[in-house]
Amino acid sequence: MAKVDMKIEGMYQEVLKRNPGETEFHQAVLEVLECLGPVVVKHPEYLERKIIERICEPERQIIFRVPWQDDKGIVQINRGFRVEFNSSLGPYKGGLRFHPSVYLGIIKFLGFEQIFKNSLTGLPIGGGKGGSDFDPKGKSDDEVMRFCQSFMTELYRHLGEHTDVPAGDIGVGGREIGYMFGQYKRITNRYEPGVLTGKGLTWGGSLVRTEATGYGATFFVNEMLKARNDSFEGKKCLVSGSGNVAIYTIEKIHQLGGTCIACSDSNGVIYDEKGLDLDLIKQIKEVERRRIEDYTKKHKHAKYIANGNIWDIPCQVAMPSATQNEINGKDAATLVKNGCIAVGEGANMPTTPEGVKIFLDAKIAYGPGKAANAGGVATSALEMQQNASRDSWSFEYTEKKLEDIMINIHRNCFETAEEYGAPGNYVLGANICGFIKVANAMVAHGLI
Ligand code: NDP
């Protein structure tokens, strides 16, 4: 092992020691550190200033109690988190996740990835992430409201348009952002739209924010296909999940000439070989908040596969848009064997390290989440711009800006991979390109 690789290995061992049991965080750190050997050879100042060690340690971690009462009057206790990871490029920016699986290790993996993703957007935003082990599924609107109010009653003191600006993630959409914004306004007596993004359109939200992550991921895959003289035209696609990211990924795939034949939720898979009826999916998931199984009530020809594995269905393009580690090594091998030529990650870290290796070895077009799904946070930054100038842009104008940002991210990752001798490796391209900008800002800011 080269001397520099040994140094980086030592840094990784230290991360394992300091953050025991946080396996998702370890996985996210390792993926970045594995790419940095050639970078520190070119930039020895990063080693001298301990940039890598510093970047792996969050600037601030907040953990708090969230008490609330359910509809029966019973007291419930959840745990809230906000990890303010790195503010070198701007205020902390990153979503809030409400899901029973949330613990510190999940929030730290997401916050760590967010640093590099936000850097890749080219916009002035630092990295952070937060959430709670609260499960909004099956809760009434009133229960969700009481939880969000209690959550914000603690979190508000850490936020501010120049400090920390959360948004949505799994389990946090327009409804939750609305309740949190209301409580922030009430406590602070300030109408401060710049403190949260993903807001409703009549009270400071941006057009295209709802669509942004899914549209952006599809634009990214479109660029990867173009780089191989190909396109979405006539391609059969799989999109896992059926939440915010999945729905607008399916919409953009259809607009670009592809056909999405399957999506899922945590209970099962819907397979419709004629192409998914997106209006029906929106009605079931966005309006009625029901399970994806209901799709077959209207479309009898479609199949519902309870506990099925979506990646077993042959496709040319796969866009995981549900959750972390949803594609393992076996799934990746199945996808490649079945003729998949492109994978674009709408979700964060949806592919295990074994799966990533299979995609890279097979030399298919593989767009990792921190590059492919950066359109969501980029459009959040566009929402912040509109709030700061008290302006609101048209759908077409905002979508064009999003597309340009995704084209730029693709180009930067592509060119960085070539520069570092690994053409076509978007993992290496994204990690190095995202890292260098943050590292240079940290060097400039001195030892803080
Ligand atoms: P939503 O809560 O809107 O939707 C999540 C979807 O994924 C649901 O259909 C959910 O099904 C499904 N899902 C969750 N866990 C599993 C699982 N273990 N197996 C199968 N399906 C599962 O979240 P988003 O669409 O906002 O987020 C999806 C992913 O995209 C996450 O990884 C998130 O971090 C990432 N992301 C989101 C951004 C955004 O702007 N929203 C920005 C960048 C990345 P069920 O209802 O059954 O739980």
What is the domain partition of the chain in residue ranges?
A: 3-55, 60-191, 212-372
169 within ligand 1 shell (Cβ under 6 A): yes
* Predicted confidence band of residue 355 (pLDDT cuts 50, 70, 90): very high
pLDDT digits (tens, 9 = 90+) for 127-141: 999 999 999 999 999
Identify the DSSP state of 176.
Answer: H
pLDDT of 4 over the 80 cut: no
- Looking at the structure, give the CATH architecture of the domain made up of residues 60-191: 3-Layer(aba) Sandwich (3.40)
Residue nearest to atom 29 of ligand 1 (CA): 347
Distance from the alpha carbon of residue 69 to the mean position of ligand 1, in angstroms: 26
Residue nearest to atom 14 of ligand 1 (CA): 322
Integer Cα distance of 415 and 135 in angstroms = 42
* Nearest ligand 1 atom to alpha carbon 117: 43
Distance from the alpha carbon of residue 374 to the mean position of ligand 1, in angstroms: 15
Residue nearest to atom 28 of ligand 1 (CA): 322
Sheet holding 268-271, edge to edge: 303-306, 268-271, 259-264, 236-239, 317-319, 342-344, 365-367
321 within ligand 1 shell (Cβ under 6 A): yes
Which residue out of 97, 165, 170, 304 has the highest number of ligand 1 atoms within 8 Å of its CB and is therefore the one to mutate?
A: 170
Integer Cα distance of 362 and 367 in angstroms = 14
**Of the candidates 99, 92, 132, which has an alpha carbon nearest to the alpha carbon of residue 380?**
92
* Nearest ligand 1 atom to alpha carbon 198: 40
Q: Which residues contact 97 (CB under 8 A, 6 or more apart)?
A: 106, 107, 110, 129, 130, 131, 132, 169, 170, 171, 172
Domain 212-372 in the same topology as domain 60-191: yes
pLDDT digits (tens, 9 = 90+) for 255-309: 999 999 999 999 999 999 999 999 999 999 999 999 999 999 999 999 999 999 9
Q: In this structure, are residues 111 and 370 in contact, taking their beta carbons and an 8 Å threshold?
A: no
* Nearest ligand 1 atom to alpha carbon 346: 30
pLDDT of 3 over the 90 cut: no
CATH superfamily of 212-372: NAD(P)-binding Rossmann-like Domain (3.40.50.720)
Residue nearest to atom 7 of ligand 1 (CA): 322
Provide, rounded to the nearest whole percent, the portion of the chain with pLDDT above 70.
100
CB count, 10 Å around CB of 172?
A: 27
Average per-residue pLDDT for the chain: 97
* Nearest ligand 1 atom to alpha carbon 374: 43
